[in-house]
Structure 1
Amino acid sequence: MAPAEETSKFCEAYPMKGGDGPNSYANNSTYQRGVVDAAKELLSKAIAEKLDIDILLSSNSFQIADLGCSVGPNTFFAVENIVEAAKFKFQSQGQDSQVPEFQVFFNDHTPNDFNMLFKSLPQNRRYYAVGVPGSFYGRIFPNASIHFVHSSYAIQWLSSVPKVVVDKTSPAWNKGRIHYLNSPEEVARAYEAQYTEDMECFLHARAQEIVYGGLMVLTVPGRPNGSSHSHSSINMSFQLLGSALMDLARKGGVSEEKVDSFNIPIYCMSPQELEAAVERNGSFSIESMENLPHVSVDDTVSKSQLLAAHMRAGMEGLVKQKFGEEILDELFDLFRKKLEEAPFFIETGKTISFLCVLRRKGNGLEHAV
């Protein structure tokens, strides 16, 4: 298939808040940093046990891609962990002289603040850095060119809001809500169908880009197998944000019609759902799938303040695009207050973070496809 056809899937862009200001993602993503730290041991173990250095000895460089890198600094910590573990793998096998040079591709949507990303690149990095704009739901690299793919807290974002949930004539029209929690069953099914289609595209693209025997490590915010969508604290927090938006609409701060047509394109998957997507694709073997330990966060501020700040860093662009920037301060302040009034939303949610290690099949590995 020609490259133009490969990248033809329509994808909307939802960049995190750029820059280094008080509301920026760079300054409000300590939880995601905690997840990178929690994943370090499992990531190192995957490289130590599963990385086939024979596939690298034929190449003079080790190509790493971080998908959904945002603006840093979390992507730099993750990449450093990968480079450190790969170097250790070579050295532990007596291949000191064979350690390749490392090239890292930082990928995100074109509106991502790549200027901020590159301004904050570590000075003492042990790799060559490249920016690759584009949606990871399509092809972004040449055939069989990448040895290791990493993505943390990115594939929960869908390529777009399911069309039927903003269609007034559809039974899945999500009037008065901005996500699928406590919505009609048709809405949850539409989100699930969008997730299924997107993961098919994601895995199909990676299967072509990753060399045979190459690894892909995905860290995902999700919900436990067999648990209801209503038990996910991520989904609960979106429900509260929707409630805050509806309060603004009732006060005349925003149009209710706009709220009806606004939905957050995030799907909270279970490990089982990801496993099913990988099996349907058939190009990867699942080497391991494990829950990460609970991440403890900065306790110098209240949980509600922290969650509100993180929510704003992630959602400001989306909200601003739809409603303008005038409502931002009031909306996220209202959201924080709702969190304070309903702390059980934070305490009782069953959100998990899990890490999945995949290996590209083929060329004599497992069942060639």
Structure 2
Amino acid sequence: MALVIPAVLDAIRESQTTIVTEKELEVLGYCLMDLAKKGLVDELKLDMFNLPLYYPSPNEMETLMKTNEHLNVQRMEILSHVVFSNPSGIALYLRAALEGLLEKQFGSDIMDELFELFTQKLAESSSLFNPENQDLVVIFVLLKRKLRT
């Protein structure tokens, strides 16, 4: 099994960093509210929607993987820093990560309009995607099932 996990650097706590999804998710929420005002999103479904996120550090991931009774870590490494320098990149990233969850809650009909509106709102607020403030990394973990003895 291969996992690709967004994370924060070990030396940086989540409260000290700007992660590409923290403020952007707030903007995405505003976009959903705009669609609810247009009658395209059910307000009750919007009120019930919650998206808690946690970004582990590489050390946390290593500790978790080592304590797993069913899987061995074959390989684990930090792939890169993820830096988005334009609104479209952020929109594509979040769409890839969240579209399944959003479709389950709100339906597939609004996805194109939602992410077009999201891209537009990000473009209007260029301060949201300053690459110098982004400390998100990606951890690659390759796991293999432990043999039963």
- With normalisation by structure 1, the TM-score equals 0.32
Counterparts in 2 of 1:308 and 1:341: CA distance versus 1, 3 Å: same
Output the amino acid matched with 2:30: S
Which residue in 1 is equivalent to 2:57?
270
Match of 2:140 in 1: 355
User: Aligned to 2:44, which of 257, 267, 273?
Assistant: 257
Matches of 1:361 and 1:316 in 2, distance apart? 33
CA positional deviation for 1:314 = 4.3
Q: Quick check: 1:236 aligned with 2:19?
A: no
Deviations 1:157-177 (A, max 9, x none): xxxxxxxxxxxxxxxxxxxxx
Percent identity over the alignment is 34
- Secondary structure of 1:290's counterpart equals strand
Cα contact 2:40–2:110 (8 A) shared by 1 = yes
The SS at the match of 2:104 is: helix
Instruction: Give runs of ≥4 in structure 1 deviating > 6 Å.
Output: 359-363
Letter in 2 for 1:269: P
Instruction: Tell me which residue corresponds to 2:32.
Output: 245
Report the counterpart of residue 94 of structure 2 in structure 1: 311
Structure 1 residues 278 and 319: CA distance shift in structure 2, 3 A = closer
The alignment partner of 2:21 has SS state of helix
For residues 16-95 of structure 1, the aligned pairs below 5 Å read: none
1:197-220 deviations in whole A, cap 9, x for unaligned?
Answer: xxxxxxxxxxxxxxxxxxxxxxx2
Number of aligned residue pairs: 145
- Contact 1:236–1:349 (Cα < 8 Å) also in 2: no
Shift of 1:339: 1.5
Q: Report deviation, 1:352.
A: 0.5
Q: 1:243 to 1:287 in 2, by over 3 A?
A: same
2:78 matched residue in structure 1: 291
**SS in structure 2 at match of 1:335:** helix
Query: Is residue 2:10 matched to residue 1:227?
Result: no
Unaligned runs of 5+ in 2: none
Cα-Cα RMSD = 3.5
> For the Cα contact (< 8 Å) 1:237–1:345, is it kept in 2?
yes
**SS of match in other structure, 1:231:** coil
Q: Which has the higher contact order (CA 8 A, sep 6+)?
A: 2
Partner residue, 1:121 = none
Letter in 2 for 1:249: A
In 2, Cα distance between equivalents of 1:321 and 1:285: 33
Letter of the aligned partner of 2:7 in structure 1? G
* Counterpart AA for 2:119: R
313 and 233 in structure 1: CA distance in 2 versus 1, 3 angstrom threshold? closer
SS class of match (2:80): coil
SS of residue matched to 2:50? coil
Alpha-carbon deviation of 1:321? 3.1
1:289, 1:337 → 2: CA distance? 37
Q: Distance in 1 between matches of 2:13 and 2:48?
A: 28
- Counterparts in 2 of 1:269 and 1:345: CA distance versus 1, 3 Å: farther
Q: Is it true that 1:328 corresponds to 2:111 in the alignment?
A: yes
Instruction: State the alpha-carbon separation in 1 of the partners of residues 141 and 97 from structure 2.
Output: 23
Distance 1:287 1:344, change over 3 A: farther
